[in-house]
Amino acid sequence: MKGRGGKLILFLGWCVISLFTLFPIYWMFLISTKTRVELFSMPSFLPGKFHWDNYINVLTDSAFQGYMLNSVIVATSNALLVTVLALLATYALSRFKLAGKDNIFFWLITNRMAPAAVFLLPLFLLFTKVFVLGGISLFDTRTGLILLYCVFNLPFAIWLLQGIMDGIPVELDEAAMIDGASTFQVLTKIILPLAKPGLAVTAILTWVFAWNEYLFAATLTSVEARTITTGLAEFVTVTGTNWGELAAVAMLTLLPAVLFLGLVQRNIVAGLTFGAVKE
């Protein structure tokens, strides 16, 4: 009974935490299904009549469609590029005898430790002044955002994949090379299949980071490359805030990440625990 009582308390505790965590999302959904008159009437925690006009207005807006397309392209391209570069980097750090590789690994991690706001002014000057003088136009472009997100996501991806790469026995590489395999063949036919769970986690997390990023997207874009997160700010104007459509966009922004994470949840668990236990 004591064990059952402990499990019951733990279950109730998790229920309370889950309700506390999910309530803002539930409240945001209620706001997105209400009219402007209902929003400023007596608040109710219970769902009433659902009005989908806010979602229809947003989904048929060409500006919103452009923001969504930019976010999909930037987040997906960044995830693919970061995953490939992180795989190559961790393979080199794990398998080759590089001088000072421990210092290189620590230096990569320090790039992720600093607050993003610290880099805001230097990056703004690079995008608007320095690169322009060199004939490179990255301001308000998808390419600029993709490369910028790689700078911040790549250290995290390397840190995440390094433990997974170290968990793959070096003897497998040596056996394949004895059989005549090249370094590229070892990487693609030995390392890549074994590291799939870790690569999936890396791609997912970097995709989510790029999808949710707001600070750099709001500062380094103006019209053409604005993402969905920056589009949320357009519903806050000097004449008021369109809370219904703002909540609808927020729900639509949240939905792809939730679906993506839900579909690959097993890979996330497998990737995070890969190599955690060794004989």
Report which of 31, 36, 41, 37 is spatially closest to residue 248, judged by C-alpha positions: 31
Report which of 156, 144, 173 is spatially closest to residue 86, judged by C-alpha positions: 156
Rounded CA gap, 29 and 54, in Å? 11
Model confidence at 115, pLDDT cuts 50, 70, 90, reads confident
Residue 102 has pLDDT above 90, yes or no: no
Cβ contact 230:276 at 8 Å: no
- 60-273 fold: MetI-like fold (1.10.3720)
Tokens matching residue 121: 């002014």
79-93, 130-144, 183-197: which is most confident: 79-93
- Position 214, amino acid: Y
Rounded CA gap, 166 and 168, in Å? 5
Based on its alpha-carbon atoms, the radius of gyration of the chain, rounded to whole angstroms, reads 23
Residue 249 has pLDDT above 70, yes or no: yes
- Position 189, amino acid: K
pLDDT digits (tens, 9 = 90+) for 116-130: 888 888 888 888 887
Q: Report which of residues 33 and 46 the model is more confident about.
A: 33
| Mean pLDDT rounded to a whole number for the chain | 83
Helices (H), 96-194: 101-113, 120-125, 131-133, 142-166, 170-178, 183-186, 192-194
Cβ contact 204:260 at 8 Å: yes
Angle at the Cα of 90 (from 87 to 95), degrees rounded to 5?
120
pLDDT attached to residue 116: 81
Residue 56 has pLDDT above 60, yes or no: yes
Tokens matching residue 210: 């790029």
Tokens matching residue 20: 């506390």
Give 259's strand partners.
Answer: none
**Every domain of the chain and the residues it spans:** 1-51, 60-273
Rounded CA gap, 17 and 12, in Å? 9
Stretch 93-99: mean pLDDT, rounded? 78
Cβ contact 247:29 at 8 Å: yes
pLDDT digits (tens, 9 = 90+) for 9-31: 888 888 899 888 888 888 889 88
Model confidence at 73, pLDDT cuts 50, 70, 90, reads very high
Residue 272 has pLDDT above 60, yes or no: no
Angle at the Cα of 125 (from 119 to 129), degrees rounded to 5?
155
Model confidence at 70, pLDDT cuts 50, 70, 90, reads very high
Of the candidate ranges 46-60, 92-106, 176-190, 229-243, the one whose mean pLDDT is the lowest: 92-106
Report which of 207, 213, 193, 212 is spatially closest to residue 261, judged by C-alpha positions: 207
Cβ contact 114:39 at 8 Å: no
Residue 142 has pLDDT above 90, yes or no: yes
Stretch 216-231: mean pLDDT, rounded? 89
pLDDT attached to residue 267: 62
